[in-house]
Amino acid sequence: MSFPSVRHVTPSVRVFAGEGALAALPREFDRAGIRRAVVFCGASMRRHTEAVARVESALGDRLAGWFDGVREHSPLPAVEHAREVLEATGADAVVALGGGSAIVTGRAASILLAEKADVRDVCTRRVDGRLVSPKLDTPKIPQWIIPSTPTTAYAKAGSAVRDPETGERLALFDPKTRAAGVFMDPVIAGTAPVSLVRSSALNAFAMAVDGLQSDTDDPLADALLAYALRLSREWLPRLDVASDGEPRLRLMFAALLAGQGSDHTGTGLAQALSHAVGPRSTVANGTVEAMLLPPTMRFNTQVTKRRLVQVAEVLGGGHRPDDGAAEAIDAVEHLLAAVGVPRRLRDVGVDRAALPEIVEHAMDDWAITRVPRPATREDLEALLDRVW
């Protein structure tokens, strides 16, 4: 008999969704003693006057300022500028308004503010051949999230910033930067283009599939990931046809569940590769990760066959238990085709000559330390070559 051996710690986060979600924000700030919050967003969000007005109304005189310099992939210069804004305003909280880049930029800026260190002194790096994430002890200002996209970043403690000069992805990790609360407002959820919502939701879908491939025997994580997958299957195809915002909010829940569940199982090979491929492509990271999901699933099958039966069942299969892995991959490819995900890296602007560099960056990604089947550089080069 095999008993699960589980250490499952659920981080505290308070979630509010629906028309009255933002009404809870002042009460949450009262509870936490927040007096000076800076809102992080991109320039396009700042131009959404109704969204801005809703946030300003909710914050009232606790709005200490705006940082609207958020950029895709959280480039290091933007993060360092954001840190300066936090310091200049005397902020005691960050409100991330928008998608994953706003959330990550806010988290990273709060780390640099508190640690008073160069990013390379506090990021994950190789030490004696191992990836090591420094323990960051200094208290951090809390973050609240008002999302426009369904990103797994709601649930995470990691922040990855990109050095535009070297192309490096510098990963920061601090559990103290996890969101204190998430406010899913339907008006703000409606500000993002459908293409961006889809890409973010595809990241959550891929993360749920990858998490369910893990050999971690954690029924609580499986429950979170399986329901995230079920919501993704149901609501992703409705993004283009729904006349209201319901799919967007449902997919936000899927993203939160996928982010929480994958904390306990790992996020998989597709994510490690997408982190390196994404900045070199013409599409968002979530779309790249979804593209890479079927080939990485095939790579994993020699160790994930039993686990993939569950994926097939959640996606509406389970009719071929003797070949659940193939059925799961077929089901994933069917859903990705239905929502228009490209199949080849060449179709999204990735240069074949960049593949070796992509592999080098992927091998230094923390996500690659928690994969069901370890991969060598040669394995990754062959995999990417086949999908190119």
pLDDT, tens digit (0-9, with 9 covering 90-100), for 137-175:
999 999 999 999 999 999 999 999 999 998 888 999 999
Kindly state the average pLDDT of the residues 244-264.
95
92 pLDDT above the threshold of 90: yes
Q: What is the pLDDT of residue 131?
A: 84
29 pLDDT above the threshold of 70: yes
According to DSSP H, which parts of 94-145 are helical?
A: 100-115, 119-122
Rounded to an integer, what distance in angstroms lies between the CA atom of residue 77 and that of residue 49? 27
Tell me how many degrees the CA angle 289-263-121 measures, rounded to the nearest 5: 85
What's the pTM value of the predicted model, to 2 decimals? 0.93
Quick one: which H or E segment has residue 381?
Answer: helix 377-387
Are the C-beta atoms of 51 and 191 separated by less than 8 Å?
yes
pLDDT, tens digit (0-9, with 9 covering 90-100), for 334-351:
999 999 999 999 999 999
Q: What is the pLDDT of residue 319?
A: 65
Taking alpha carbons only, the member of 298, 311, 284 closest to residue 373 is 298
318 pLDDT above the threshold of 80: no
Q: What is the pLDDT of residue 2?
A: 67
Please return the burial class of 252, using the count of CB atoms within 10 Å of its CB with bins 0-12, 13-18 and 19+. buried
Provide the pairing of β-strand 37-40 with 63-67. parallel
User: 327-347 burial, b for 16+ CB within 10 Å, e for fewer?
Assistant: bbbbbbeebbeebebbeebee
Q: What is the pLDDT of residue 324?
A: 79
By percentage, how much of the chain surpasses pLDDT 90?
78
pLDDT, tens digit (0-9, with 9 covering 90-100), for 167-186:
888 999 999 999 999 999 99
Residue 4: pLDDT band by 50, 70, 90 thresholds? confident
pLDDT, tens digit (0-9, with 9 covering 90-100), for 64-81:
999 999 998 899 999 999
3-state secondary structure (DSSP) of residue 263: helix
388 pLDDT above the threshold of 90: yes
Contacts of 129 (CB under 8 A, 6+ apart): none
1 pLDDT above the threshold of 60: no
By percentage, how much of the chain surpasses pLDDT 70?
97
Kindly state the average pLDDT of the residues 288-296.
95
